[in-house]
Structure 1
Amino acid sequence: MSFGSSFNQGGRISIAEAMDRLVRGGLPVRFTAYDGSSAGPPDAPIGLHLRTERGLAYLMTAPGDLGLARAYVSGDLDLEGVHPADPYAAMVLLKDHTKFRMPTPAEGIAIARSLGLSHLRPPAPPPQEHLPRWRRAVEGLRHSLVRDAEVISHHYDVSNRFYEMVLGPSMAYTCALYETPDATLEEAQFAKFDLVCRKLDLKPGMTLLDVGCGWGSMVRHAAREYGVKALGVTLSLEQAEWAKGAIDREGLGDLVEVRHSDYRDVVETGFDAISSIGLTEHIGVRNYPSYFGHLRDRLAPGGRLLNHSITRRHNRQQETGAFIDRYVFPDGELIGSGTIIAAAQDQDLEVQHSENLRLHYASTLRDWNRNLVEHWDECVAEVGEGTARVWGLYIAGSRVGFERDEIELHQVLATRNHDDGRSGFPMRPDWKP
């Protein structure tokens, strides 16, 4: 029986029945709602419980991922059977089996009448949600200095203490390198920074520029382990202040400087090496030519550039999903490694090596979820449950994406060659794999 025929006979449907009918193949989880209705397998290990009318309004006014995210972040929708700090099992199940279909106009009208027309009035989104793209466009050009600073602050200036608990002592918010399956997160982050240093062929007395330096983990590692003089720049004021404190605590002030600055404001040149770890995702694909051109101009002839970034499995431009854009990385853009390599080459950089660390990022995200579980109560006290829920959802969902090759992580190594073509690069890579 269709929704239309049901209503023609004066029938009504419950919240759970409406949800079940709108999912192709039926719900794979147990769904319950505040009206007492339920649907889905009674013995399902994962459950969804809709607690409030506001949650229903979120689902009805923003069908799909965004409505679910709003209801979940606000606490109006609960996941049962998983910890909110690590909803990985739920993400796998929902991704595999939950495909919403668009109702026909008659069905849509029937649903709205049955569940209450008042729920078609959109509630205010949770405070963790950023402005939609069209509102950001009104306030400034995408990837302008001002707009980039604002969206970076939205994501990174959450709480340094929160990041300490989730990321661990390394304070590295980028893909780690697991040399063995049982490596700890800290061992893997050390191995990642060390790999970058070896690829850049760092030696005592050399100079390094690290753009998008975060909490200064790369510049401190390079100075401490390789005797390099390093400059790091970040658009996050909280990151810069934390990094400066760490530099002082480690006694690296004579070798390391971290600035609260855009990479485009770096005027120094002649660096022996440049590292960019997790910045490319924020700069915009159309800005790749100016980005690589600016970095090339900062390098000395024979210098090396290591670009480490999340990539897509293809080179077609594609907007990020609503949840990631509104709650995690506003204005973030991903593209395939081929586009990154081509952009670097077009700026007279010779690409020497490319490496995909996709599965290493899945392991990194697994360990961040574990840290969030371990420190859940303290994290909630620090940033609020809504923000903590955003992070649990985002980390677990990203892990699924990396495992399934929906997104990848590439390190691209390039050189600025001398005018006569000399690169200083050996016939074969000169670092330990």
Structure 2
Amino acid sequence: MDVDGGGNKRVFHRLGGPQSDPSKNQKVCFHWRAGKCNRHPCPFLHRELPPPPSQQGLNGTASSKRHHAFSATTDGPSARNRGPNNFNGGASSTWGRTGGTRVFVRKMEKVCNYWVQGNCSYGDKCKFLHCWSMGDSFSLLTQLDGHQKVVSGIALPSGSDKLYTGSKDQTVRVWDCQSGQCLGVINLGGEVGCMISEGPWVFVGIPDVVKAWNTQTNSELSLSGPVGQVYALVVGNDLLFAGTQDGSILAWKFNAVTNCFEPAASLKGHTLAVVSLVVGANRLYSGSMDHSIRVWSLETLQCIQTLTEHTSVVMSVLCWDQFLLSCSLDQQLKVWVATQSGNLEVTYTHKEEHGLITLCGMHDSEAKPVLLCACNDNTVRVYDLPAFSERGKIFSKEEIRSIQVGPGGLFFTGDGTGQVKVWKWVADPAPTA
């Protein structure tokens, strides 16, 4: 994704209040930034400092009303972190050990309803959060409004300066990555079940069909064959795989001569809908409503193992180095590792208080591996890996169903209200208080 290299430093104002207070030290409270200041009154500021009036814009001139919504640099081989499928980390046997130095302190873990409505009278003294996140490692850049129902897919095609989002409101929206403006709305006539991008292609799963768009040639294709909703899509070994409502996994192969996708295989085995797919280690992993994960060989397209340790819907699967991570509505996140025989076994189980919806792996501003884990209590937990020490949390009005990694430390979340938020990892701030 080619975006403007200026970088956007706009920080989401977590608390309201006057722009200046001469009675306070003009420094931002470090403990407030971490979400754990307990001094009332605090001698330091509980808000971000505004930019100086003379601050120059991204183009070297005075800033105008037109802002860059989510710009980032894309230099270097790690600029396009494509998320879970290419999530690389070192081998480790320390899953779940909290011996790291980063420990997240929980406090006031509820967003103020009055602040959301814009009329909280407590200001700095409110005991609830006046922000959409806890933790000082990432910040909210902007939000994209337009979808009317849950956002079920987010995609960033290679070589494009556009962001694509799909929703159960039966539309795909196209956003400009510099201005954050919606450039177009595509009406599909069916709920979007999933969306991915691979190279210049954008693939969208809707009931009974997969739509394919080439963002460079503007060509559009329809891939028939699915029965019911298409819940999951992934590309591996030059094949496009689709997990469908009837429990089958369909595969297509692109024919450059005819410029179309031709049916290649149908993988049978799951007894209920396939809702998650991931490719790694020359394997295809599928999670299903039948509570199982099936492991398929990408060479033979045969099922070589069935994992049955989850007791509810397997909502998401993620490859990290030689590990497989899976999460379920059974409130468990499992880490799998291959034994000498080649079969996968659980090496660690992480338990949450709520059902788990989706996983996303990425690296923070210091290139450390982190895991974003969406739960059905309208939050996303942010964990350091492999220790699973919590370093932050993201809140939303409704469940976050989609998380997508972008370039330059960006990531995107889409929730049940139809809102897409753009986040950016930031360097650890130096203590100011």
Please identify the structure whose Cα radius of gyration is greater: 1
Higher strand share: 2
Higher helix share: 1
Say whether the fold is shared (TM-score over 0.5).
Answer: no
Q: What TM-score do the two structures reach when normalised by structure 1?
A: 0.26
